[in-house]
Structure 1
């Protein structure tokens, strides 16, 4: 393309790349503020890279189109971007104590790739709408998710780290039942704890908020930490 259009002709290609950078950075800022490992730099690079691939697919082979028996299908590059981002997203998802972590961040990386592709394809308004949808889902849907969790009859996990062999777990169970919760199950996990401590994940049944219970559990002598699932998710 450089040899056919020159440097001046390529300046127009930089504009969609810059738009992709701005929009993907907007998504990355939200992830960075949420303390996720795939944060500002990761999302910005994914968005810019996706846009660059789309631009190369659209304009990088213009000098070959005049040759006989040569044809191009720009959509093939788009398909490869989608499958390639899938490998990155798969690396962000892992299972710990039978709980899946990292799904939301994997989805945001996938989404920011789509934003970059839209900018590279010359559809900046579509990219802007994608960023707006990201903020709506990740920020605006949180209250709705809490309401749905409270109305669900499925057990809700609470992770507690406590001093072992001091009767702390008994007090934790007593507090949970006094709050109106039923203990549907319990998984003890000593992995990753310091000497003299243990970790347990309680599966609690009850349609009342969990946060008052976690505050109460945290005040029990010997309790080192209490986490809910959304707080427990690592920088994903």
Structure 2
């Protein structure tokens, strides 16, 4: 146990290393699913918040004996909780009008809290929180996909040439079959061997007749510039 207002180098190294480990575990899960804030971002947030908490608790020891000095180790930590919102907002804006960025923003916010907990020496709480975060991101995500199928929502992925108006053409084809688009996410792809740029468009659709999906896919394939359309098992692979 460390004494109040004192900490040795070993405990500093332990807490910073644990911050890298726990933040990296959560970041790795985000990286696997190609989210904008991945492995390195989560490590940096966890590591930075841990160091800030260490500074808050132990960094001002020399000034404690000064007159008229009031010490509150939670003040700097509170700024981390508020400031992490800017980083989280950036991940949401990166995804446009989809809600996928909200989960990544929330994971960054939780990782900051984990880092603060480690910095304060609250190891058990930090480890348990990391476990529940991984359960939420990995296990509950599959449950969410099951709920989507139960609601007759269908996800398709369209790889199309990067040209203005292509998303509108896809939406027009869907509108002709009275299919509602619940969410859209657009991701950049690299150029092919002919230096043609492509984008990947992920769409979540609410269909009145799920059996008509193959016909919808055929309609989209007729659009000029569409390279590939995936759905069902091919989308999960």
Q: Deviations over 1:133-179 (max 9, x none)?
A: 121011101221122223337x6675646699xxx97xx76xx96xx
> Normalising by the residue count of structure 1, what TM-score does the alignment of the two structures yield?
0.69
Number of positions where the alignment pairs a residue of Structure 1 with one of Structure 2: 208
> Deviation of residue 113 (structure 1)?
0.8
Gap runs ≥5 in structure 2:
190-195
What SS does the aligned partner of 1:42 have?
helix
Whether contact under 8 Å (1:150, 1:209) holds in the other structure is: no
Correspondences of 1:1-236 after superposition (within 5 Å): 9-94=8-93, 98-152=97-151, 158=156, 160=158, 183-184=179-180, 203-206=205-208, 213=214, 217=218, 220=221, 223-226=226-229
What SS does the aligned partner of 2:179 have?
strand
Which structure exhibits the higher relative contact order, with contacts defined as CA atoms closer than 8 Å and separated by 6 or more residues?
Answer: 1
**CA 1:114–1:203 in structure 2 vs 1: closer, same or farther (change >3 Å)?**
same
Q: Deviations over 1:89-132 (max 9, x none)?
A: 11111276743441111111111111111100111111111211
Gap runs ≥5 in structure 1:
none
**CA 1:88–1:113 in structure 2 vs 1: closer, same or farther (change >3 Å)?**
same
> Normalising by the residue count of structure 2, what TM-score does the alignment of the two structures yield?
0.68
Give the ranges of 4+ consecutive aligned residues of structure 1 lying more than 6 Å apart after TM superposition.
192-195, 199-202
> Deviation of residue 38 (structure 1)?
1.5
Distance 2:147 2:156 in 1: 17
